[in-house]
Amino acid sequence: MISKIVEKAINEQITKEEDSSRLYLSMASWAERNGFPGAANWLYVQAEEERVHMLKLVHYLNDREGAAIIPALEAPVSKFKSLLEVFHEVLKHEEFISASINDLFAACNKEKDFSSANYLQWYITEQIEEEHNARNILDQIKLAGTHEGGMFLMDKEFASMASAKRASLAQSGGANAVT
Ligand code: FEO
């Protein structure tokens, strides 16, 4: 049985992961409409990944005899000035999620819920990768912006990163992998 404090904190994280998924979906749609099909593809896969993050927590909470509540959400931002701005926002958002996971981990430890803290280790490791990827892409976009044709080549690079990302998501079982 999970404590009410941990249940509430995990439900808040469920909201944030679902919010992340919708934010990236909105960014993907913007990129698709603005001539960045590769970046759009990457962002669509990222949106799927965030949904998996949300689902894992839903199942975990219900398995521990808590109650996972699916939240109502506000519409995500849908207008951006550039792809550079999109990825600035991606990085900022991932840093926010990392801080949130750290707070959740601390709350579980404070409640002596070491099972939940242990479960959250996966998210802590995942956030290292998420931040690294966002930083890396942001650096590449900055560099591409200084070369003629750079953004065109960057979008091709996005397409191959998206394929690798989709393959990795499928290999991990995607939404079917969550227990
Ligand atoms: Fe689920 Fe990108 O944090």
What pLDDT is recorded for position 6? 98
Residue 137 identity = I
Domain count, the chain: 1
Instruction: Give backbone dihedrals phi and psi of 74, rounded to 5 degrees, phi first.
Output: -80, 155
- Distance separating alpha carbons of residues 177 and 171, to the nearest angstrom: 9
Gap from CA of 123 to ligand 1 centroid (Å): 8
**pTM (two decimals):** 0.93
Asked whether the predicted pLDDT for residue 146 surpasses 90, the reply is no
CATH of the domain at 153: 1.20.1260.10
> Separation of 81 CA from ligand 1 center, angstroms?
23
Examine the pLDDT at 140 and tell me if it is beyond 90: yes
Q: What is the pLDDT of residues 95-128, one digit of tens each?
A: 999 999 999 999 999 999 999 999 999 999 999 9
50 lines ligand 1 (CB under 6 A): yes
Contacts 24+ apart (CB under 8 A), 113-122: 113/2, 113/3, 113/6, 115/64, 116/2, 116/6, 116/10, 116/60, 116/64, 119/60, 122/56
Residues 175 and 179: their CA atoms lie apart, in Å, by 9
User: Quick check: 25 pLDDT over 90?
Assistant: yes
H/E stretch holding 39 reads: helix 37-63
Q: What is the pLDDT of residue 162?
A: 93
Is residue 47 predicted with pLDDT exceeding 70?
yes
Distance 131 CA to ligand 1 centre (A): 9
Q: What is the pLDDT of residues 51-106, one digit of tens each?
A: 999 999 999 999 999 999 999 999 999 999 999 999 999 999 999 999 999 999 99
* CB of 53 sitting under 6 A from ligand 1: yes
Domain extent, residue 147, equals 4-177
Give residue 176's pLDDT band: very low, low, confident or very high (50, 70, 90): low
97 pocket-lining for ligand 1 (C-beta < 6 Å): yes
Mark 156-168 as b/e (b = at least 16 C-beta within 10 Å): ebbeebbeebbee
Please state the rounded mean pLDDT for residues 16-43.
97
SS3 2: coil
Instruction: Look at ligand 1, atom 1, and give the residue with the nearest C-alpha.
Output: 50
Angle 173-177-178 from CA coordinates, rounded to 5°: 150
CA distance 79 to 140: 22
Residue entry with tokens 């579980």 = 108
> Which tokens go with 160?
């191959």
Q: What is the pLDDT of residue 103?
A: 98
